[in-house]
Amino acid sequence: MSQCEKDLEAELEVLRETFKSGKTREESWRRTQLKNLLRFLEEKEDDIFKALKQDLGKHQVEAYRDEIGTLIKSVNYALDGLKQWMCGKKAKLPIAAFPSSAELVPEPLGLVLIISSWNFPFGLSLEPLIGAIAAGNVVILKPSEQAPTSSSVLAKTISKYLDNKAIKVIEGDNSVGDKLLQQKWDKIFFTGSTKVAKIVMAAAAKHLTPVTLELGGKCPAVVDSLSGSWDTNIAMKRILSGKFGACAGQACIGIDYILVDKTYANELVKLIKLAIPKTFGENPKESHSIARIINRTHFLRLKNLLDEPMVKSSVVHGGLTDEDNLFIEPTVLLDPPVQAAIMTEEVFGPLLPIITLDKIEDSIEFINARPKTLTIYAFTKDEALKKKIISRTSSGSVVFNDSIIQYAADTLPFGGVGQSGFGRYHGKFSFDTFSHEKAVVRRSFLTDIWFRYPPWNHKSLQLFRTAYRYDYLSVVLITLGLKKA
């Protein structure tokens, strides 16, 4: 075992001993850690702003809207609900068990590993941490090395606010991640790509460790023709914000592509082209309202998507790329080949393909022919179409006439299905994700059911048949000999 591995094992042992001591189970400890996390977000706001600007070119407003603000909201929500979340819930038992009682008692899972992504380096690190702390766990947080400034802020400052013997931040590249995955955990929470998720699952399988995977996919936006200038203007703002306004499209829940009726396609393109400068300025790079691409590797990946011959010819707006500044302007494409990489891979950038259909109802078949995604967006007033989308498609969530708002709602679970991941969090769902709901049953010696024990006979069988149908009157009558067994 290398010295690095010995040091890691020693740190994990400290966390295990802390959990064994029972202090993380106490409400006072959980509440103190959450309050300290809130203090971190408020006192280190400027450091967070600078880190997000350095790593991703995020404007302060975007940084606060998508990361700092949502986290402050989430911590306060957890503080308000903590006492109730920790309480057991009564459960009903059948009359046959009388006198008895039962409850479901949440207990922390233990040692938790959180591996976060680079696109929202604070939000995707601390949102699950809030749930893990609220549930009473000890935690190792591994931020993404692709957002190095943000990772450094977390590693250097979290230790000044949170219990070092219960919560640690470990930085490093893939090799550090591999070493962490080789350890035995009680829960692994991963946000990132499907490719890495498979590695995480394979490692977790060795110890039968439960895993929550928050992935992504190609989130479609079904756009029906909208009547009225007010509705149209609002829809355009929400579509553009849902595509280009969240980390320059580098968001798992961002709109990946649009599906539209052929008869409305040209009008939609015109509306989007008019709305882009109104939203992001005549020169989006100079307006600083759009983040930049995280690094050169991802920049070149996006450029390659755009440079495919048949794809390039489908560009109807934008297309400008600036490798020196890792910036790609909002780009709209009309009917790129559906076999092209831009339509088979998650775009994860400011490229917006628009696919035309013979009729808008065909969108359901188009969506179902592809892997299940994190979210389906639909801009429509057609109630019949809404019902079809809900009942005939499968996704982590469905949002009508808006984009990304589901992420900020503490009362809604956030998570995917199929290839877009599994497990859910946010609000109390985060608490539940990092808890085990233990069944506790209490029974009296006052009464007993004699036929549950051997020796068996035909009467015992008949009594079971009636008891399992909750036909208690027949049980009494058979027992008294007033009804044939």
Catalytic residue among 62, 67, 214, 329: 214
Computed on alpha carbons and rounded to an integer, the radius of gyration of the chain in Å comes to 27
Task: Compute the Cα dihedral for 79, 80, 81, 82 and give only its sign.
Answer: positive
> Omega before 350 cis (within 30°)?
no
Buried/exposed code over 354-373 (b: 16+ C-beta within 10 A; e: otherwise): bbbbeebbebbeebeeeebb
Closest by Cα among 139, 130, 152, 201 to 54: 152
Q: Is 45 helix (H, G, I), strand (E, B) or coil?
A: helix
Task: List the beta bridge partners of residue 414.
Answer: 425
For residue 214, indicate whether it is catalytic. yes
The answer to whether the beta carbons of residues 137 and 110 sit under 8 Å apart is yes
| Residue 57 CB burial class (10 angstroms; 0-12, 13-18, ≥19) | buried
Closest by Cα among 415, 388, 431 to 217: 415
For residue 345, indicate whether it is catalytic. no
Q: What is the signed CA dihedral for 158, 128, 401, 273, rounded to 10 degrees?
A: 50
Task: List the beta bridge partners of residue 409.
Answer: none
Catalytic residue among 62, 127, 252, 346: 252
Q: How far apart are CA 433 and CA 398, in angstroms?
A: 21
Cβ atoms within 10 A of the Cβ of 281, count?
14
The answer to whether the beta carbons of residues 255 and 239 sit under 8 Å apart is yes
Place of tokens 């090799």: 175
Q: Which helix (H) or strand (E) is 436 found in, with range?
A: strand 435-443
Q: Catalytic amino acids?
A: 214, 252
